[in-house]
Structure 1
Amino acid sequence: MANFVKIFDTTLRDGTQGEGISLSVEDKMKIARKLDSLGVHYIEGGWPGSNNKDIEFFMRVHELELKNAKITAFGSTRRKGILPEDDVNLNRILEVGVPVATIFGKSWDFHVHHAIQTTLEENLAMIYDSVHYLKSKGLEVIYDAEHFFDGYKNNTEYALQTIKQAEKAGADWIVLCDTNGGSLPHEVTEIVTEVRKALSIPIGIHAHNDCEVGVANSLAAVMAGATQVQGTINGFGERCGNANLCSIIPNLQLKLNYSCISASQLESLTSVAKYVSEIANMHLPVNQAYIGSAAFAHKGGIHVSAIMRNASTYEHITPELVGNKQRVLVSELAGQSNLVFKAQELGIDFNSSNQESRQLIEQIKEMEHQGYQFEGADASLELLIRDAYGNSEEVFVLESFKIMVVKTINQPVVTEAIVKLKVNGESVYNAAEGNGPVNALDNALRKCLLQYYPALENIHLSDYKVRVLDEKDNTAGKVRVLIESSDFDNTWSTIGVSANIIEASWQALTDSIRYALIGKPRTQVQPEEQKERLGLVNH
């Protein structure tokens, strides 16, 4: 039977220290529910002694009725010179009613002298007293040995004394922290091996990614005997981030034969990663291992030809094991096999001798000559293929749009778009303001379509990029617009090219909406209801 490793998620605490990340209490509740469904064993909710937001989270989290995870509160050892029962931070952990406390203390003599400015003996007492106090109140206690690897390298004897004090006081876990992220895998292996000899209780690893080896260090620690791994979803965290659980979990489970979560839970990994990224309003790198949209994407024609025979030729695992999927990109490097693959995905019989197929190939070549790049716009490519074979639905027809931008002295710019469409044979128009013309167009388009397609409520534009293609023509040059759109389950990209940036944006925007609505049910709007929604009925 595979060895078992406990997963400790600190996205809601350490992950929120990453630049640009700020989670509301409601955000943290949503993420906690997702983490529980993924099967993680511990969810570190925050530091109740530091802010009221975290206190509110702990007071509300019991509403979730979690099935797999234990909620843990974070804090530090008691302050120097006081009793643990008089320490505000320790008592806050008790007040929020969690079953598990995670407290950190100093392992590095340099930090003892310069950070908390006390003696080595007092630091040992602080560790013992704090762990013993929390254990006496019936909590499971995880002791995070902060800066342990730096401390061990600087003063091995004292670093070991600190964690032995925590063990003596009754700690359930000792977690070795590479807080500065400066250790390398061979060092982690050597040190964890020695620590295992010195302790009789289980140990864990908490790695940061400052040397780009946070995942490697976590794996090295497990292989040397650690049975708990701390990390964050998508590697969120301060500076260069924490060790990325989205890589650690599948590496442990699929490559090293350790057991962390169930196979069905592992299949939700990609959707959980995307969900957390959306809630945190952070862009998910396409090339992120296992769960990125490019993790199993193939561009070269020879590669595609090979994977059509056997996917193992260019894929190290089956993408569906982690909830991802194989993708084929069409570009100037791609051969006919790429189009065959994409068509087969859609259930279309692509034959190069067919008139539709020949026209499609010529159309794509001409569009690429004009500046389109379908390797980064998979949704637009799918729509092209569907249109070529009559396998698409007409969502709407543009009748006109108009954009007005007004700037007056000492006032911000106001942008308004008016869009007129034909939907179900009826004319529909609406106006909306936005932060710029594209946002205004998007808002007006949605206002027109939401009454017919309620599913649009859950879809939003997540990224917008513009590139000038003819730099020699300066502001008169042709531009390429790429739009990335998302819901909580999927992300897709669309493209537009034109000498007019608004026209290029409209192409990409409407492709995004069309793609989003493939297969979605359409709501029938009665004529009188339509007039009322447009404000044409007198009350």
Structure 2
Amino acid sequence: MSSVQIYDTTLRDGSQAEGISFSCEDKIKIALSLDKIGFHYIEGGWPGSNPKDLDFFSLIRSHSLKNAKLAAFGSTRKASLAAENDPSILAILDSGVQVATIFGKSWDFHVREALGTTLEGNLAMIRDTVAFLKSKGLEVFYDAEHFFDGCKANLAYALKTIEAAQEGGASTIILCDTNGGSLPLEIKEFVELAAGRLSLPLGIHAHNDGDLAVANSLVAVQAGAVQVHGTVNGYGERCGNANLCSIIPNLTFKCGLETIPRENLAHLTELSRFVSEVANVHPDTRQPYVGMSAFTHKGGVHVSALLKDYRSYEHLPPELVGNRRRVLVSELSGMSNMLYKYKELNLQVDKQSPEGKRVLEEIKNLENQGYQFEGAEGSFELLLKKAYNGYIEPFTLEALRLMIDVKQDGTAYSEAIIKMRVGDRVVHTAAEGNGPVNALDNALRKALESFYPCIRSMRLTDYKVRVLDEKDGTGAMVRVHIETGDGHSSWGTVGVSENIIEASWQALADSLAYGLLKGDNLEQKKDDKEE
């Protein structure tokens, strides 16, 4: 079976995305995760460009990479300097890496306008830089920047630039669609032309400005490329880079090629979400393969077919990439959706039972009132447990009072006083907050943490309010959606009311109740009490 090398540039190209800035510690964590899953090359950064990348290359030396080789990025020598005197190139040598990835100009327009040198001078810069680094014992990859645009403008010259890199001793030539505007058939044509002129392996480095980076990468492989550059989740400048979370499973499962070890693809979703967490970016729920919605089904016809065979509406089992199948329940649902959820929750419910039909109608009525269970599986599962499983509420509200004082300078003070019943005990407490909902959340947690210490690990990660009937103004129904996480997983809950505090209470109470149910913490508390 043929294989394709996976070269990750999340730590450099990915960090150039708007809104993303990795600390040195972040980069270490991501590099170790990439190595663990089996990536072949990890581009750590550009040591000649900033102190953070210098620190990264220094600190990563104390970690032993088991699968990946670390690469340092840089440019060809300056036109006015010899390679051995160029500080940027010397910084690559000082970084202690095994691999140097050097980019140079392929487009005559860039040579003249950006570099301000001659076409022959650019060829010498490419050849000299590669040869110098090669002479120092490094494996040298040459990134042919703007290669495809260069081919369209001046094909003969673009081919001369990669030939110069080959003459210098490059190990692999990577063809870059730097502006991300090429089409798959253009990629195929020029990769095949390059393969016909060189005796070296080829790689592809595609950007996503035309939303074709993944497709262009796959076409390049089909045309002969054996190394693919990209980033986790497709992070990168402008519209991003080729998304390795899509490319790797496509190459493995669709093209039958070896990439990272096949068994490690079961950790791909975990890697995607880990990197998004470190980057402080909300995961793209609709991202293919690894997104939360990638294997999510809503229509009753679809779910009915899925119950018979997953292949009816899924192109591969989600478990292969570490994801999971989800079935939503909404006003579009049929009994098949409910049956799937019953099975998922180990609830023994007959297809024709009046209870099942009653719960389905109740859900549809609630959605008609404004509830939305698509992103609130916590509230939905609690609803089913209450209907079928002899569910015992972990806590109940006895009384709640909110006080909001607005001072003359406009600043507000919020305090929540709450009285809760947990089993046969009643707790009465108060807490402040930077707003009424925050005060309510703090008081609820304060009341419950002594009974359920695990609540300390549950954190509200998102809070959204949606006005459902704008025409009613301040008297409109609102829907509050809350996302909660415990460091291992996350879940959504929902509340609806004309009173935003009541809607928030519903969602907050469900979020903690579901977290307790999910972690079997109710059972643990019951056992502790019996002892």
TM-score in terms of structure 2 length: 0.92
1:159 corresponding residue in structure 2: 158
Report the Cα offset of residue 274 of structure 1. Answer: 1.0
The answer to whether 1:133 aligns with 2:122 is no
**Secondary structure, in 3 states, of the residue corresponding to 1:141?**
strand
1:535 corresponding residue in structure 2: none
**Secondary structure, in 3 states, of the residue corresponding to 2:100?**
strand
Report the Cα offset of residue 329 of structure 1. Answer: 0.8
After superposition, residues 468-483 of structure 1 pair within 5 angstroms as 468-483=467-482
- Summarize the Cα distance change of 1:432–1:148 in structure 2 as closer, same or farther, 3 Å threshold: farther
After superposition, residues 53-72 of structure 1 pair within 5 angstroms as 53-72=52-71
Most deviating of 100-109 and 507-516 = 507-516
The answer to whether 1:427 aligns with 2:427 is yes
Report the Cα offset of residue 49 of structure 1. Answer: 1.4
Report the Cα offset of residue 418 of structure 1. Answer: 5.2
The answer to whether 1:7 aligns with 2:31 is no
Percent of paired sites with the same residue:
56
- Summarize the Cα distance change of 1:452–1:45 in structure 2 as closer, same or farther, 3 Å threshold: farther
Task: State how far apart, in whole Å, the 1-side matches of 2:465 and 2:220 are.
Answer: 44
- Summarize the Cα distance change of 1:351–1:206 in structure 2 as closer, same or farther, 3 Å threshold: same
**Secondary structure, in 3 states, of the residue corresponding to 1:484?**
strand
2:304 corresponding residue in structure 1: 305
Task: State how far apart, in whole Å, the 1-side matches of 2:164 and 2:155 are.
Answer: 15
Report the Cα offset of residue 54 of structure 1. Answer: 1.5
Task: State how far apart, in whole Å, the 2-side matches of 1:254 and 1:488 are.
Answer: 31
- Deviation sequence 1:118-147 (CA, Å, 0-9, x none): 111221111112111211221111111111
Q: Contact 1:181 / 1:208 at 8 angstroms: preserved in 2? A: yes
1:532 corresponding residue in structure 2: none
Amino acid at match of 1:86: N
Amino acid at match of 2:226: T
After superposition, residues 492-503 of structure 1 pair within 5 angstroms as 492-503=491-502
Q: Contact 1:185 / 1:213 at 8 angstroms: preserved in 2? A: yes
The answer to whether 1:115 aligns with 2:114 is yes
Q: Contact 2:8 / 2:229 at 8 angstroms: preserved in 1? A: yes
Report the Cα offset of residue 282 of structure 1. Answer: 1.0
Report the Cα offset of residue 344 of structure 1. Answer: 0.5
Task: State how far apart, in whole Å, the 1-side matches of 2:12 and 2:89 are.
Answer: 17
Task: State how far apart, in whole Å, the 2-side matches of 1:136 and 1:406 are.
Answer: 73
2:519 corresponding residue in structure 1: 519
- Summarize the Cα distance change of 1:451–1:470 in structure 2 as closer, same or farther, 3 Å threshold: same
Amino acid at match of 1:138: G
After superposition, residues 309-328 of structure 1 pair within 5 angstroms as 309-328=308-327
2:204 corresponding residue in structure 1: 205
Report the Cα offset of residue 459 of structure 1. Answer: 4.3
1:357 corresponding residue in structure 2: 356
Amino acid at match of 1:236: Y
2:505 corresponding residue in structure 1: 506
Task: State how far apart, in whole Å, the 1-side matches of 2:12 and 2:448 are.
Answer: 39
Task: State how far apart, in whole Å, the 1-side matches of 2:125 and 2:451 are.
Answer: 64
The answer to whether 1:42 aligns with 2:55 is no
1:143 corresponding residue in structure 2: 142
Most deviating of 226-235 and 117-126 = 117-126
- Deviation sequence 1:90-143 (CA, Å, 0-9, x none): 111111211111121111110111111111122111111211121122111111
1:465 corresponding residue in structure 2: 464
Task: State how far apart, in whole Å, the 2-side matches of 1:132 and 1:220 are.
Answer: 30
Q: Contact 2:376 / 2:493 at 8 angstroms: preserved in 1? A: yes
2:290 corresponding residue in structure 1: 291
- Summarize the Cα distance change of 1:342–1:163 in structure 2 as closer, same or farther, 3 Å threshold: same
After superposition, residues 322-341 of structure 1 pair within 5 angstroms as 322-341=321-340
Report the Cα offset of residue 296 of structure 1. Answer: 1.0
Report the Cα offset of residue 33 of structure 1. Answer: 1.9
**Secondary structure, in 3 states, of the residue corresponding to 1:204?**
strand
- Deviation sequence 1:358-402 (CA, Å, 0-9, x none): 542343133122111212322221121112123646443334455
Q: Contact 1:271 / 1:489 at 8 angstroms: preserved in 2? A: no
Report the Cα offset of residue 454 of structure 1. Answer: 5.3
Report the Cα offset of residue 440 of structure 1. Answer: 4.5
**Secondary structure, in 3 states, of the residue corresponding to 2:163?**
helix
Residue correspondences, number: 524
Q: Contact 1:371 / 1:469 at 8 angstroms: preserved in 2? A: yes
- Summarize the Cα distance change of 1:302–1:113 in structure 2 as closer, same or farther, 3 Å threshold: same
Most deviating of 444-453 and 80-89 = 444-453
Task: State how far apart, in whole Å, the 2-side matches of 1:494 and 1:16 are.
Answer: 33
Amino acid at match of 1:76: S
Task: State how far apart, in whole Å, the 1-side matches of 2:486 and 2:167 are.
Answer: 50
- Deviation sequence 1:280-338 (CA, Å, 0-9, x none): 11122221111111111111111111110111111110111111111111111110111
2:85 corresponding residue in structure 1: 86
**Secondary structure, in 3 states, of the residue corresponding to 1:467?**
strand
Amino acid at match of 2:327: V
Q: Contact 2:415 / 2:430 at 8 angstroms: preserved in 1? A: no
1:530 corresponding residue in structure 2: none
- Summarize the Cα distance change of 1:310–1:50 in structure 2 as closer, same or farther, 3 Å threshold: same
Amino acid at match of 1:427: V
- Summarize the Cα distance change of 1:240–1:444 in structure 2 as closer, same or farther, 3 Å threshold: farther
Amino acid at match of 1:217: N
Task: State how far apart, in whole Å, the 1-side matches of 2:410 and 2:54 are.
Answer: 41
- Summarize the Cα distance change of 1:129–1:392 in structure 2 as closer, same or farther, 3 Å threshold: farther
Amino acid at match of 2:73: F
- Summarize the Cα distance change of 1:71–1:498 in structure 2 as closer, same or farther, 3 Å threshold: same
Q: Contact 2:404 / 2:414 at 8 angstroms: preserved in 1? A: yes
Report the Cα offset of residue 73 of structure 1. Answer: 1.4
1:33 corresponding residue in structure 2: 32
Q: Contact 2:252 / 2:262 at 8 angstroms: preserved in 1? A: no
- Deviation sequence 1:6-45 (CA, Å, 0-9, x none): 1111111101111111111222222122212221111111
**Secondary structure, in 3 states, of the residue corresponding to 2:173?**
strand
Task: State how far apart, in whole Å, the 1-side matches of 2:48 and 2:405 are.
Answer: 49
**Secondary structure, in 3 states, of the residue corresponding to 2:112?**
helix
Task: State how far apart, in whole Å, the 2-side matches of 1:419 and 1:29 are.
Answer: 44
2:529 corresponding residue in structure 1: none
Task: State how far apart, in whole Å, the 1-side matches of 2:56 and 2:451 are.
Answer: 38
Task: State how far apart, in whole Å, the 1-side matches of 2:116 and 2:440 are.
Answer: 59
Task: State how far apart, in whole Å, the 1-side matches of 2:450 and 2:117 are.
Answer: 66
1:262 corresponding residue in structure 2: 261
- Summarize the Cα distance change of 1:16–1:428 in structure 2 as closer, same or farther, 3 Å threshold: farther
- Summarize the Cα distance change of 1:487–1:266 in structure 2 as closer, same or farther, 3 Å threshold: farther
Report the Cα offset of residue 413 of structure 1. Answer: 5.3
Most deviating of 458-467 and 55-64 = 458-467
- Summarize the Cα distance change of 1:32–1:509 in structure 2 as closer, same or farther, 3 Å threshold: farther
Amino acid at match of 1:53: K
- Deviation sequence 1:158-213 (CA, Å, 0-9, x none): 11111111111111111111010000101001110111111111111110111111
Amino acid at match of 1:197: G
Amino acid at match of 1:16: S
Task: State how far apart, in whole Å, the 2-side matches of 1:444 and 1:29 are.
Answer: 38
Report the Cα offset of residue 524 of structure 1. Answer: 7.2
Q: Contact 1:271 / 1:488 at 8 angstroms: preserved in 2? A: no
